[in-house]
């Protein structure tokens, strides 16, 4: 049962307020002894012409609340506080969770709605470094979350496969390219010559002009330049796909910037027909003073396109093809102005879909005393980071197994290390609000007792172990509500309540574009479970009935953790 909705409906009936308004006003008290939900009565003071504490007192005495056997109501100052019956909450929550299993948190709020999530979007011919992982992991989680809520999700990888950098790369390849090195390790070789181009360009301006000419030829469809570009693109995709597969990241569409190049003339014509294009220093721009923004360049002075012109073409294509309800761009915060300009141009041109386009920004990725620059060749490859994480986790798992006398095979240890090590990296990107910068620390990432993927996965594995032992002893989780209603202790109540709040956390994650809402909730579930585990006997409970009820809690913990971790893009393991 959705207790919050039920309470909101009752308050709306009594006060005449809209249910949605009441629902948004209902709060979670900061301390459990203040109840499960609280309704602030300030909103009624003006219409009722009474002080909020008096309104709360009168509402608490209303007979509609007295009729409920699910919760009790108390007035605390200007608040109306609701206390859900613990036995009812336990039975109701655990029955729903264990019936749903791995599908716990699924909803149908997005039925019939199309959501496009654009994420990852690496630049062709450049290494996939830890900075690219932010958009990839964040976008993957959002796509999974919207899918969980019933939306039709289109996963877009808007590849950076066009632009002046390819003119530079073509020039660099012709001057310094090593064919054997390109075949052996294409990204490494392409990065080498790209870095060399920028080193040489500082002292040789003719290289800059050569790059511009080559990109113009590419835009004009010259055969030789096109073949080189396509070769660099195909080689890069093979490398990227290998990493995506390892991370469990999928896409429905790889339409990169190049895909929209032949659609740009139509965009330019449209803007010109609407009298929105103006010339500025030789370039074609759209003025955006009314939006408080600088002009948006559509065509550069030499007639070539830029990001904005290609993104405009992309939005119109997506609107025409998918009729999207939401078009989400998971791109770093530094690109905020760019997207404001693109969306504003569309709005000025009269396209309603502009209001359904959303830029989801995120912070920077840092290591101590280190900055990233592809031009300088100073990058930390994501694959290297994952490999290092897996290696470190493997050492920990192998040592723990040896200390326990557990005869795990090398293959078992490798499989666990891969999932936990990869999970440790992924969780680092989603454990906090997306706009916060990430500073990597192995000590923090691999702490089996901290807010980390290893801690969450270990909690899942520990809980699974309890359920296996129980089965060996002939105990199965209770399913009848009468038995489940026995779970009323403080530790049981806090744990079950945090499990019951998980579906709301999933909805909040989608509404705010914050996977952090999910990671925070399952972290709370894990901490509450471990407190419960340390303070309560499960297999040795006071009665067989209580043992079975507590095993049902364990089952629900597993369903919640597995569902939450999956939404973040992290796999669980059955033993550690």
Q: Which residues are the active-site residues?
A: 126, 129, 132
Do 93 and 87 contact (CB within 8 A), yes or no? no
- Transcribe 237-253 into DSSP letters: HHHHHHHHHHHT---SB
- The 8-class DSSP code of residue 122 comes to P
Cα gap 71→11, rounded to integer Å: 13
Structure-token pair, residue 421 = 């090590």
- Transcribe 152-221 into DSSP letters: EEEEE---B--SHHHHHHHHHHHHH--HHHHHH-HHHHHHHHHHHHHHHHTT-HHHHHHHHHHHHHHHTT
Do 175 and 214 contact (CB within 8 A), yes or no? no
Give the H/E segment covering residue 75: strand 71-76
Do 261 and 249 contact (CB within 8 A), yes or no? no
- The 8-class DSSP code of residue 333 comes to G
Structure-token pair, residue 413 = 């240890």
Do 347 and 354 contact (CB within 8 A), yes or no? yes
Cα gap 52→48, rounded to integer Å: 9
Cα gap 567→419, rounded to integer Å: 15
In a 3-state reduction of DSSP, which class is residue 150?
coil
Do 87 and 486 contact (CB within 8 A), yes or no? yes
- The 8-class DSSP code of residue 381 comes to B
Cα gap 194→199, rounded to integer Å: 9
φ and ψ at 41, to 5 degrees?
Answer: -90, 5
Which residue's entry shows tokens 């995709």?
A: 237
């Amino acid at each position: 049962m959705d207790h919050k909705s039920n309470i909101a409906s009752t308050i709306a009936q009594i006060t005449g307020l809209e249910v949605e308004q009441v629902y948004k006003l209902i709060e979670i008290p900061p301390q459990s002894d203040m109840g499960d939900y609280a309704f602030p009565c300030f909103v009624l003071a003006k219409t009722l012409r009474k002080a909020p504490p008096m309104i709360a007192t009168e509402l608490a005495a209303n007979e509609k609340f007295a009729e409920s056997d699910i919760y009790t109501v108390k007035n605390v100052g200007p608040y109306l506080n609701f206390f859900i019956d613990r036995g009812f909450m336990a039975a109701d929550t655990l029955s729903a969770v264990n019936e749903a299993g791995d599908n716990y948190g699924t909803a149908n709020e997005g039925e019939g709605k199309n959501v496009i999530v654009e994420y990852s979007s690496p630049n062709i011919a450049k290494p996939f470094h830890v900075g690219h992982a932010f958009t990839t992991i964040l976008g993957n989680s959002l796509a999974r979350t919207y899918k969980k809520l019933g939306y039709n999700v289109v996963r877009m990888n808007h590849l950076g496969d066009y632009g002046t950098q390819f003119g530079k790369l073509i020039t660099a390849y012709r001057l310094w390219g090593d064919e054997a090195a390109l075949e052996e390790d294409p990204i490494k070789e392409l990065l080498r010559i790209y870095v060399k181009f920028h080193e040489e360009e500082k002292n040789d301006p003719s290289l800059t002009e050569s790059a511009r000419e080559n990109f113009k030829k590419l835009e004009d469809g010259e055969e030789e330049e096109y073949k080189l570009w396509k070769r660099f693109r195909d080689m890069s995709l093979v490398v990227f796909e290998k990493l995506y597969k390892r991370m469990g990241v999928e896409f429905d569409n790889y339409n990169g910037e190049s895909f929209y190049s032949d659609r740009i003339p139509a965009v330019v014509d449209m803007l010109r027909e609407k009298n929105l294009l103006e010339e500025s220093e030789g370039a074609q721009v759209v003025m955006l003073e009314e939006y408080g923004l600088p002009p948006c360049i559509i065509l550069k002075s030499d007639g070539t396109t830029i990001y904005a012109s290609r993104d405009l073409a992309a939005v119109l294509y997506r609107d025409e093809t998918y009729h999207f309800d939401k078009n989400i761009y998971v791109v770093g915060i530094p690109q905020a102005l760019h997207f404001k300009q693109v969306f504003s141009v569309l709005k000025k041109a009269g396209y309603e879909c502009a209001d359904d386009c959303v830029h989801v920004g995120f912070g920077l990725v840092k290591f101590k005393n280190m900055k990233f620059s592809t031009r300088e060749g100073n990058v930390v490859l994501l694959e290297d980071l994952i490999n290092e994480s897996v290696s470190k986790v493997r050492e920990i798992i192998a040592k723990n197994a040896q200390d326990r006398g557990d005869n795990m095979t090398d293959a078992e240890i490798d499989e666990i290390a891969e999932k936990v090590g990869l999970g440790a990296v992924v969780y680092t990107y989603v454990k906090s609000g997306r706009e916060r910068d990430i500073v990597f620390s192995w000590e923090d990432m691999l702490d089996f007792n901290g807010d980390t993927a290893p801690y969450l996965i270990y909690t899942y594995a520990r809980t699974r172990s309890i359920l296996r032992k129980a089965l060996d002893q002939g105990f199965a989780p209770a399913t009848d509500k009468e038995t489940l209603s026995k779970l009323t202790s403080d530790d049981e109540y806090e744990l079950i309540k945090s499990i019951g709040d998980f579906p709301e956390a999933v909805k909040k994650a989608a509404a705010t574009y914050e996977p952090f809402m999910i990671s925070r909730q399952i972290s709370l579930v894990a901490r509450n479970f471990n407190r419960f585990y340390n303070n309560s006997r499960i297999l040795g409970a006071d009665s067989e009935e209580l043992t079975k009820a507590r095993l049902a809690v364990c089952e629900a913990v597993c369903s919640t953790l597995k569902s939450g971790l999956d939404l973040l893009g992290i796999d669980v393991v059955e033993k550690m």
